[in-house]
Amino acid sequence: DVKVTQSSRYLVKRTGEKVFLECVQDMDHENMFWYRQDPGLGLRLIYFSYDVKMKEKGDIPEGYSVSREKKERFSLILESASTNQTSMYLCASSSGSLGGQETQYFGPGTRLLVL
Amino acid sequence: AQKVTQAQTEISVVEKEDVTLDCVYETRDTTYYLFWYKQPPSGELVFLIRRNSFDEQNEISGRYSWNFQKSTSSFNFTITASQVVDSAVYFCALSEASGNTPLVFGKGTRLSVIA
C-alpha cells in the first residue's frame, strides 16, 4: 500500500513565523504535490515536483516555497506565515511513468491555524 | 484549458437511497484521465477510480458504479443503497495526457447520508 505521511495533523503558528510542513512517501514515487483546501474553493495546487531538486509552480505559489532534497521527502515552507494561510494542506505523490497523469495518493492532511 | 465542474455542492439522502454525483469536464485533448476521490471527515483523500478516455465501459465496484459518457463529457458516480459511512466529500478530477500537467479537481460534492 502507498503510504504518504505528513509531519503534523494540526499546527498552530503565529503571524510572521516560518513554518515547515513535511511530507514523506514510501513508494519511491517520482512526483510529489502540495495542495491547500479551503471551503468552497476545493483543492488548489501550490507547488509540485517531478524529480529531486526540481520544482514547478502550481496555481497559487505566492507566499510559499518548497524543497525536495531527497526523492521521498517534499517540504512546504511558509517563509512568513499570515492569517490568510490558515487552511488544510494536503500532500500527494504519484509514480512518474506517465508524468502527471498517474493516480495521486494523498497524506492525511495538516490543518494549519495562523493567529 | 482543462476544467472540472461538480454542480452539486451538497446532497442529502436517507440511508438506502441511491444517489448520483455529477461530474462534467472540459478538455481539448483526445487522451485524458478521469478520477474520483472520497474525503471522509478524517480529511484524507481516498482514491476510488481512474479511467482513461479510451475506455468508455461503465464500471461497477460493489455499491459504487461509474458512468463515463464522452458525448456529454460526463463521468458520473452512483452509490447504490447508500450508507452512513458514505458521508464524505467526493471530488472528480481530470488530467490531460499531453505535457506534464497535474490533476485538476472539481470543487467537490458533500454527501450526507442520514440514518
Q: What is the mean pLDDT of residues B100-106?
A: 83
Cα(A113)–Cα(A88) distance, integer angstroms: 9
Q: Which chain B residues are closer than 8 Å to A111 by Cβ?
A: 43
For residue B86, give the 3-state DSSP assignment: helix
For residue A78, give the 3-state DSSP assignment: strand
Cα(A4)–Cα(A95) distance, integer angstroms: 13
Interchain contact B8–A (C-beta under 8 A) = no
Q: What is the pLDDT of residue A97?
A: 63
Assess contact for B68 and B56: CB atoms under 8 A. Answer: yes
Q: Which chain A residues are closer than 8 Å to B97 by Cβ?
A: 98, 101
Strand A56-57, strand A42-49: pairing = antiparallel
Report the percent of chain A where pLDDT is more than 90: 78
Q: Note whether A45 contacts B43, CB cutoff 8 Å.
A: no
All residues at 6 or more sequence positions from B63 whose CB lies less than 8 Å from its CB, including other chains: B79, B80, B81, B82, B83
Q: Which ranges of chain A have pLDDT less than 70?
A: 1-2, 97-100
Instruction: Tell me: pLDDT of B81 over 80.
Output: yes
Q: Which chain B residues are closer than 8 Å to A45 by Cβ?
A: 102
